[in-house]
Structure 1
Amino acid sequence: MAASAASDRGKESAIDVHDWLREVAGHTYMRVTRLPLEELDGWREDPATGNIHHASGRFFTVEGLDVRRPDWAVPAWSQPIINQPEAGILGILLRRVEGVPHLLMQAKNEPGNPGGPQLSPTVQATRSNYTRVHQGRAVPYLDFFREPRGRVLADVRQSEQGAWFYRKRNRNMVVEVTEEVEAPEGFRWLPLRRVRELLSVPDLVNMDARTVLACLPVQEGADEGEEEFGAAVARSRDPRWGSAHGTAEILSWLSAIRSTTDVQASPVPLNRLSRWRRAGGRISHESGRFFDVIGVRVEAGGREVGAWAQPMIEPVGTGVVGFLIRRIDGVVHALAHARVEPGYTDVVELAPTVQCTPGNYDHLPPGARPALLAEVLEAPPERVRFDTVLSEEGGRFYHARNRYLVVEVDDDPVPRHPDFRWLALHQLDELLRHSYYLNVQARTLNACLHGLAHSPAGQPVSGGVR
């Protein structure tokens, strides 16, 4: 897998993929119109709680959440949150063409996408979608994943944004097939290496594809003595090269934090949230920060359903998500942060070094502001190994974008800090075989780091945002 993934024998170039996405956009359409929450067809407001739910009782609800964390700089807050208890399927089919792994990718548009269709998994469906609550067309290729037809390379439940989803999870799967599987309009077999390279293009590979790519087990490996950055990244995927901390030590550290972190997150009525206001057809924080809950009407061609309405979360501002990386005894390590988010299933997950929307912290005391943000944003250009803007899940979030960065440092900026640990890249891969260890932002950066294994020596990968 590692050797063939590094091969250049795939026929699809980045330009070909851009042309294909434009072609798909020309054959399909999606019109998104903002509507007041009160005017969303099929959605109801509970008269007692103000919670917003679908008339079918399926899909998701928008509820309130009360959060208490006594030992933190902000000890309590409340917020709207999406409660979507059902687990969906995010699945990619893999097939080898002359030994080169290819992925069956879908060009899929979502109402929250900032620029039209994006590269998406073969299957991207909630349980309500694939059980056809919406009475639309069946989801293509679903049978390959519900009862896997082929060799299962990855199959693990993972969380999504714990700040906006309450205990949301999806089944992330990669299934290898040997049979010929046709790619109809809207689907295309693409070489694995090309898909990884395209992660550096702004808003092109969607969040659901990124999280599945991160879970794909690939042991890269590289020869001893190769000092180019790409070779160091490839070598660091091989557990035989060691790590600063043993995996058992990392797991013990994380278990201790989970066991001693005091967080209470309790669902509450949406209409009783402190400092949140419903006016003008939306729900907003009185400060103008964080996010709004908005309504949209969608008309689409080429989808299982031709029209629908729904609530969405619209963030205020572009986020910053960054890993500091460092070579320890020649092995690339990422500085992971044990992060608390109220919607996580297990209290704490490993996050990137920095994960925030800077404007949300302007009014808070210094102790509540993100550590190491300056180290990520103010790094010299030659230290920036990856830098691009990627959008988040467009089915629930409207124009949600984060700037993803990987910055190399020589020294540890937070030695012996209780909330941070250096993990070798192969340890990130190992933890992704299990549920709820790496959050969705860390999984995106792990997928991007896979792409850096074959970048030219010393050359940063950038989507042109610097």
Structure 2
Amino acid sequence: MPTTSTLSARQDVGLPARLARSAATGGTGCRMSLTDFTGWLTHRTTVNRFRVERIPFADMDAWSFHPETGNLVHDTGRFFSVEGLHVTVGEGPFPEWQQPIINQPEIGILGILAKEFDGVLHFLMQAKMEPGNTNLVQLSPTVQATRSNYTKAHKGADVKYLQYFTGAADATVLVDVLQSEHGAWFYRKFNRNVVVETTQDVAVDDDFCWLTLGQIGELLRRDDVVNMDSRTVLACLPVPFEEPGALHSDAELLSWYAAERSRHSVDVRRIPLAGVTGWRRGTDSMDHDLGWYFRVVAVRVQASNREVGAWTQPLFEPRDSGVIAFLTRKIGGVPHLLAHARVEAGFIDSIELAPTVQYTPRHYAHLTGDARPPFLDMVLAARPDRIRYEAVHSEEGGRFLNAQARYLIVEADETEAPDEPPPGYRWLTAGQLNTLLRYGRYVNVQARTLMALLNSHAAEL
């Protein structure tokens, strides 16, 4: 007798509406008010003991420069290493360069646990200390862990709530997609961006709280509250956008994207860190000869509520803050965003879709005329009435020290940003960008931060 298998629906057709309801809920119906949240986050910051101090490279425990390659490695061979990279792109103001790069081949878990209370989805968020954050403690996913961490290579405590993301506890997958990290500083690094829902009772640890998507959106309007790992996961939620059409069909958009990937010839080679030209290593840092870009430093960390209470590690420290912005305008009455097919050395493919502007202005201050990055000056000079969103957010605090960027959404008109933009740029709707985020290797981490704003109603177009 043939067996009969039970078929599942290919999509959860009710999920977008449930997410929209959560995004619209910020007051009544929430497990914790935002007033209480502010006090809770302050309390979690003060009740735990945190300390980060810079140290010489020689004072790091279990980290050293390899005698042959000069690569900065951990004695176990786990966690990550700092190596060299030789990059040739053949175009633009910087056609070829060498740099240090973080090589972390492990795929980590960035996971948020969801549960419905009184008909509204809430998300279990964590007050997590990361050594690179300027304010140390920010709102992170339920689980934010590398494979070395959750397999306990550090011989520390268990990662809380990990069972919901490894199949050991009953939960329904809402989102699970591999997404890249910062392509300028990581070499081909990916994480699982996961949201799962449970109907079980969940014991809430002191460092965790339930928030709606709308409440997280309110917090995204504040500087340095919601960390990068939370933002990238929230960007992947299939939130609905009511759009009768778009300037380019989905097929046209994908065709353009494929052509952009094909036309860029990017040669990337890993090289020994000791052989990287234009950089010099001292006792306390490794710096670019011009004092630009970033430097590699070492820190000693104490954190009473982490899986390990104390450790040392290298961090990348940017020398200046960045400016990251989407231009937006209505085309045919529908809001659109101007995306850039951006080359970054650490991508596994040559490009990913980035915001219109993603630059550190100081690095381009010496350029004039057509050599200036498109749209950068427009964003820098934007009038307040054109700025639809603005806040400062930190980048990944586990690997980057004091890495902050000013994130904006800036309204443009047709004369400033025409329907036919320069090569490498394309108009798309928020709904189209949201659809691409169901798959990996399309949208970079900076664009995902701005998408998280739209998904959570922190910003409106």
Query: What's the TM-score bracket when you normalise by the shorter of the two chains?
Result: over 0.9
2:218 matches 1:176: no
Query: Over aligned residues, Cα RMSD in angstroms?
Result: 1.5
Residue type at the aligned position of 1:47: P
Tell whether 2:187 aligns with 1:200.
no
Structure 1 stretches of 5 or more lacking a match? Answer: 220-236, 459-466
What CA deviation, in whole Å up to 9, does each residue of 1:50-99 have, x standing for no partner? 10000000000000000011233322100001000110000001111111
1:259 to 238, 257, 262: 262
Q: Give per-residue Cα distances to partners, 1:216-239, cap 9 Å, x unaligned.
A: 1111xxxxxxxxxxxxxxxxx135
Residue 285 of structure 2 corresponds to 282
CA 1:81–1:366 in structure 2 vs 1: closer, same or farther (change >3 Å)?
A: farther
**Correspondence for 1:93:** 113
Partner of 1:60: 80
Residue equivalent to 2:417: 413
- Kindly indicate whether residue 226 of structure 2 is the aligned counterpart of residue 238 of structure 1: no
Q: Secondary structure at the match of 2:121?
A: strand
Contact 1:73 1:367 in 2 (8 A): no
Note the C-alpha offset of 1:454. Answer: 7.6
How big is the shift at 1:295?
Answer: 0.3
Q: Secondary structure at the match of 1:310?
A: strand
Deviations 1:288-309 (A, max 9, x none): 1100000001111011001110
SS at match of 1:18: helix
Query: Secondary structure of the equivalent of 2:277?
Result: coil
Q: 2:54 aligns with which of 23, 28, 34?
A: 34
The residue matched to 2:220 in structure 1 has which SS? helix
Give 1:366 shift: 4.8
Tell me what 2:15 maps to: none
Asked whether the 8 Å contact 1:91–1:121 carries over to 2, the reply is yes
Pair 1:82–1:27, CA change in 2 (3 A): same
Write out per-residue CA displacement over residues 183-231 of structure 1, whole angstroms, 9 at most, x where no aligned residue.
Answer: 1110111122101111011000000000001011111xxxxxxxxxxxx
Q: d(CA) in 2 for partners of 1:131 and 1:398?
A: 25
Matched, 1:250 2:253: yes
Query: Structure 1 CA distance, aligned partners of 2:206 and 2:157?
Result: 15
In terms of mean alpha carbon deviation, does 444-453 or 249-258 score higher? 444-453
In 2, Cα distance between equivalents of 1:436 and 1:454:
24
- Amino acid aligned to 1:34: R
Question: Are the structure 2 counterparts of residues 152 and 183 from structure 1 closer, same or farther at C-alpha, using a change threshold of 3 Å?
Answer: same
What is the count of residue pairs matched by the alignment? 438
Secondary structure of residue in 1 paired with 2:83:
strand
2:432 to 417, 427, 435: 427
Cα distance between partner residues in 1 of 2:59 and 2:372? 38
Whether the 8 Å CA contact 1:74–1:368 is kept in 2: the answer is no
Separation in structure 2 between the aligned mates of residue 145 and residue 121 of structure 1, nearest angstrom: 12
Name the aligned partner's letter for residue 71 of structure 2.
Answer: N
Q: How does 1:346-357 map to 2 (within 5 A)?
A: 346-357=349-360
Is residue 449 from structure 1 mapped to residue 458 from structure 2 by the alignment? no
Please state if 1:164 is matched with 2:185.
yes
Equivalent-residue separation in structure 2 for 1:271 and 1:368 (angstroms): 32
The answer for the alignment partner of 1:228 in structure 2 is none
> Is contact 1:4–1:99 with CA below 8 Å preserved after alignment?
no
Letter in 2 for 1:52: L
Query: Do the aligned residues in 1 keep the contact of 2:131 with 2:397 (CA within 8 Å)?
Result: yes
**8 Å contact 2:213–2:456 — kept in the other structure?**
no
- What are the Cα deviations for residues 239-268 of structure 1, in whole angstroms up to 9, with x where unaligned? 5x1111011111111111111211101001
1:44 to 56, 64, 80: 64
Question: TM-score if structure 2 supplies the norm length?
Answer: 0.92
Matched residue SS, 1:200: coil
**Helix, strand or coil at the partner of 1:394:** coil
> How far 1:280 moved relative to its partner?
3.7
Q: What is residue 156 of structure 2 aligned with on the other side?
A: 136
User: How many Å apart are 1:151 and its aligned residue?
Assistant: 1.8
Change (3 A) 1:4 1:84: closer
Residue 126, structure 1, aligned to residue 126, structure 2: no
Question: Could you tell me which residue of structure 1 aligns to residue 166 of structure 2?
Answer: 146
User: Per-residue displacement from partner, 1:411-444 (whole Å, max 9, x unpaired)?
Assistant: 1525342211111110011000000111000000
For residues 35 and 366 of structure 1, what CA distance do their matches in structure 2 show?
A: 43
SS where residue 39 of structure 2 aligns? helix
Pair 1:339-2:342 in alignment: yes
Query: Do the aligned partners of 2:58 and 2:283 also contact (CA within 8 Å) in 1?
Result: no
Cα distance between partner residues in 2 of 1:262 and 1:144: 41
* 4+ aligned runs moved over 3 Å, structure 1: 363-369, 451-455
The sequence identity of aligned pairs, in percent, is 52
Deviates more, 1:37-46 or 1:314-323: 37-46
Distance 1:208 1:333 in 2: 25
**Structure 2 portions without partners, runs of 5+:** 1-17
- 1:158-189: CA deviation from partner (whole Å, max 9, x where unpaired): 00100000001000001011111121110111
Hey, what does 1:462 align to over in structure 2?
none
